[in-house]
Amino acid sequence: MAEITILKEANEIGLAVMLSDLIRQNLDQAPEKIKLFSSLDAKVLIEARDIQITVGLEFKQERLTVSEGFSVKPDLHIIADSTTILDLCLLKIKFGLPYFFDGAGFKVLKKLLARELIIKGLLRHFPTLVKLTKIFSVIRD
Amino acid sequence: MPYKFPSEDWIKEYQKAINTSEDYKQSGATWTAGSVCLVVTANPSVGIEKDVGIWLGLHKGVCEEIKLVPLEEAQKAPFVIMGDYSRWKQVVLGELDPVQGMMQGKLKLKGDLPTIVRYVRASQDLVQCASKVDTQFMDE
């Protein structure tokens, strides 16, 4: 059973609650993702710049702690508007990787190229990003 | 003629707006996840004495049923979005995007998040329909 905790300070942040519910429900519906979740060891910062909300996700020792952010540099820093953050959850996974050659994938790719979606740490922590995308993805095969 | 929000007359107009929306017909075409209830929390200062839900019986891009329900019934819907009157007013006026509202904690969502995420466009189209109803707000 994956353990997900929202720190008190983040309890009133809708995005924090949504992301933790999304991950929890995704793991319930696709138990094969639990192994991926357990193997993650990373700090991820998600910033919805249109609504000026930042949420920190710390994956460590089979646990996820959701907070308002970190005082140290995260491994991945995802910056986008709120709708784009949800678009990331619509990415299909093919051959173990995010698939960019359908409608949802192409939309995300276009935003990445236009810098409407910024992922700091993308190259350095690519395997972490792939795992994270798989955990977030709501697209079932 | 403006319709008081929320009221029986308003929801009937809302249903018409949903069922004549080409955008919603398309974005909600594959929706089979059940009803959605929009709950306006009690606010006696504008005449809403108890929480009231707007029950939307949605199926494959069509609003088959719409009714006002008390909170107890509203909570039986698979998807419940809750907010106070001022937030819904902003939504109906098109000033607050429902997705942003949920992310900001201005609207609280109960239900299966993966499904909601798959239908973000449909939820935005539904709200767009609400803004097409000629609305009279109770605090004006």
Q: What whole-number distance in Å separates Cα of residue B83 and Cα of residue B70?
A: 14
Which of A93-97, A121-125, A135-139 has the least mean pLDDT? A93-97
SS (H, E, C) B34-76: CCEEEEECCEHHHCECCCEEEEEEEECCEEEEEEEEEHHHHCC
Determine whether the interchain pair B117/A86 forms a contact, defined as Cβ–Cβ distance below 8 Å. Answer: yes
Which among A12, A25, A86 has the least Cβ separation from residue B99? A86
Q: How confident is the model at residue A72 (pLDDT cuts 50, 70, 90)?
A: confident
Ranges under pLDDT 70 in chain B: none
Task: Check: CB of residue B28 under 8 Å from CB of residue B61.
Answer: yes
Residues in chain A closer than 8 A to B99 (CB atoms): 82-83, 86
Choose which CATH entry (2.60.40, 3.40.50, 3.30.1050, 1.10.357) describes domain A3-88+118-135.
3.30.1050
All structural domains of chain A with their residue ranges: 3-88+118-135
Q: Where are the beta strands (DSSP E) in chain A?
A: 3-6, 42-48, 53-60, 63-67, 76-80, 92-94, 97-99, 118-120
Q: What whole-number distance in Å separates Cα of residue A17 and Cα of residue A53?
A: 12
- What is the per-residue pLDDT for A141? 64
Residue contacts between A and B (CB atoms, under 8 Å):
55
Interface pTM (ipTM) of the complex? 0.86
Asked if A30 reaches chain B (Cβ–Cβ under 8 Å), the answer is: no
Residues in chain B closer than 8 A to A21 (CB atoms): 113
- What is the per-residue pLDDT for A70? 85
Kindly report the nearest CA distance between residue A25 and chain B, in angstroms. Answer: 7
Rounded to two decimals, the pTM is: 0.89
Query: pLDDT per residue over A15-61, tens digit each?
Result: 999 999 999 999 999 999 999 999 999 999 999 999 999 999 999 99
Fold of B3-130: Nonspecific Lipid-transfer Protein; Chain A (3.30.1050)
Determine whether the interchain pair A25/B114 forms a contact, defined as Cβ–Cβ distance below 8 Å. Answer: yes
Which among A17, A83, A139 has the least Cβ separation from residue B120? A83
- What is the per-residue pLDDT for A140? 74
- What is the per-residue pLDDT for B1? 83
